[in-house]
Chain A
Amino acid sequence: MSDTLAPRRAAARRRGRTRLEIAVLSAPAVIVFLAFVILPVALAAYYGFYRWKGYGDPTDWVGLNNYRLILTDPAFHDVLWHNGLILVLSLAVQGPLAIGLALLLNRRIRGRSTIRVLVFVPYIISEVIVGTGWSLMLQSDGAVNGLLRATGLGSLEADWISDPDLALWTLMAVITWKYLGFAVILMLAGLQSIPDEIFEAAQIDGASYWQIQRRITLPLLGPTVRIWAFLSIIGSLQLFDLVYIIWGQYVSGTAGTSTMAIYMLAQGRNAGNYGYGSAVAVVMFVISLVVALIYQRFVLRRDLRGAVTEGTV
């Protein structure tokens, strides 16, 4: 009896010890994560059903009324439209530019590593600083107009920030400036991961430079482009800092650059309507999730399968 019990008891002790280790090592991260990420997200879904000013417990249950108000609010339609435009324009402008620049920078040129560092600078600077700097430069008496005057292009001077016909394009220019370097670096990393042998083989077969780029480089760069586009899409839907710094809550509304996140802050916390603000957050989340799922289902599927199996092995 005791012969068989002793090892079993030892094994049980070891199992207990292992369990204890698992608990001690994982508990802090899991608790913090549940409390500050999952709980708020769950609370947003809950508060979204109430009219609630943020004091005491929410009691004024309004069902789907907040959602009805959001979805019928012309101001929300505006911000949704802006987010959509920003999303499409980001992809259409940055994608081709980034691929072209990456192909160019991937050639043998002197100072390549310096160039890489310098084009990444806009990405590493915070949105607040980018926004503050650009808003000073874009004012009607700012550096951009000054430069246009000095170079004889004075007729192009404009009110870049508050002119509703221009503001969104100004925003797109700033966004492109801030994030293009990141896209280029990503594409360059993608280019570097294509084995040289493929190019050598193509060259030996007599393929021209442009044929190689079109038939080999671009298709093989596909996964990188698709992942970049995914990040760009999510970023566009959640854009906040740049707009809030350059335009602020009120001007962004009249200039036509406000986004869903701005709407959420303005109608939620700043107006003291926490229930409504939470409902806006849920709408944003659902929109992002639906877009992400559609994108994953139809575009990313092949790439992700590879990434997941690689990542877990």
Chain B
Amino acid sequence: MSATTTVSRKSTGRDGGPVTYFVALLFVGVCVAPVLYIVLGGFRTNAQITTDPAALPDPWVGANYAGVLTSSVFWGEFANSLIVALASTAGIVTLGLMVSFVIARYDFRFKGAMYSLFAAGLMFPMVIAITPLYLVIKDLGLVDNLLGVIVPQIAFGLPTTVIILVPFLRAIPNEIEEAAALDGMSRLGFFFRMVVPLSLPGVVTVGILAFVGSWNNYLLPLYVLNSQANFTLPLGVQVFSSQYSTDTAKVLAFTSLAMLPALVFFSVFEKRIVGGLTGAVKG
């Protein structure tokens, strides 16, 4: 390599050659093909799938998707998923922002302990707590109730939220707070009028992570929700696929419609999701 090679920004030298493109294409293909299979399979008939499980639709059939889209079961579960995801996100963001503000900008004795408490929460994933958590939910009479999914999701979403938001809120310069105080603004006024807007990027990241996490959550709804009327989509997909285990095409249509919202959401917020995840991981 000669000294005339220019180093591009954020790229370690070398342009990608044919090998690079080939491997990249192969990787992308492997990642996307199964997803395409699910989506395209929904446009086939069971007969088509039986004769050749790995072919394209021929002819294209819309009946499976139409069937799912006109079923009240799908839309009911869709609505449940949406309610649970929105309520969990709102709860996580509101409670998380409030407690992060206290930890980041107030001085009091238990500040460190409070931060450690939430940070320790990262050590307790839901899988570990699920059995007694189910009992707590049962004692509160929240079994088969969407609240029984929402409230625990808020609780388990708080550690990540606090870890992400506290540094964010600390970074707001003291001068802004002092200026606000000189203008006669109270600490709470400062919170609502300055902190909330200034921390919006962090809040959006946290909110997106909460929403996707809730949308995809399976374990907690599996324990808590019993009746189909209360099922969220992940439960719905599982039940649907065992109910219609002979109707593969319909299962594929149902499955791809269930993943569509997450995919749309992801493509809209892709930068923030990726940035948020890698940022959260790197601390």
Any A CB within 8 A of the CB of B154: yes
Number of A-B contacts defined by CB within 8 Å: 307
Q: Please indicate the chain A residues that have their CB under 8 angstroms from the CB of B155 in the complex.
A: 32-33, 35-37
A119-B31, A126-B218, A182-B277 given as contacts; is B11 within 8 A of A40 (CB)? no
What separation, in Å, do the CA atoms of A205 and B283 have in the docked complex?
Answer: 34
Q: Is the CB of A141 within 8 A of B14?
A: no
A37-B155, A129-B259 given as contacts; is B128 within 8 A of A269 (CB)? no
Q: Please indicate the chain B residues that have their CB under 8 angstroms from the CB of A254 in the complex.
A: none
Q: Is the CB of B99 within 8 A of A26?
A: yes
Any A CB within 8 A of the CB of B167: yes
Contact of A118 among B10, B31, B96 (CB under 8 A): B31
Q: Is the CB of A150 within 8 A of B13?
A: no
Any B CB within 8 A of the CB of A43: yes
What separation, in Å, do the CA atoms of A39 and B140 have in the docked complex?
Answer: 13
What separation, in Å, do the CA atoms of A182 and B212 have in the docked complex?
Answer: 15
CB-CB contacts of B192-205 with A at 8 A, as 1s and 0s?
Answer: 00000000000000
Q: Please indicate the chain A residues that have their CB under 8 angstroms from the CB of B225 in the complex.
A: none
B-to-A contact residues, CB < 8 Å? 1, 3, 5, 7-16, 20-21, 23-24, 27-28, 30-32, 34-35, 37-38, 41, 50, 52-55, 91, 95-96, 98-99, 101-103, 106, 108, 114, 117-118, 121, 123-125, 127-136, 138, 151-152, 154-156, 158, 162-163, 166-167, 170, 187-188, 191, 212, 215-219, 223, 234-235, 237-238, 241, 248, 251-252, 255, 258-259, 262-263, 266-267, 270, 273-274, 277-278, 281-283
A-to-B contact residues, CB < 8 Å? 18-19, 21-22, 25-26, 28-30, 32-33, 35-41, 43-44, 47, 54, 101, 103-109, 115-122, 124-130, 132-137, 141-147, 150, 177, 180-182, 185-186, 189-192, 196, 199-200, 203-204, 208-209, 212-213, 217, 223-224, 227-228, 231, 234, 238, 240-241, 245, 261, 264, 268-269, 274, 277-278, 280-281, 284-285, 288-289, 292, 307-308, 310-313
List 12 A-B residue pairs with CB atoms under 8 Å apart, sorted by A's residue number: A36-B156, A39-B132, A47-B131, A125-B262, A126-B259, A133-B38, A135-B241, A143-B37, A147-B53, A209-B12, A231-B281, A288-B128
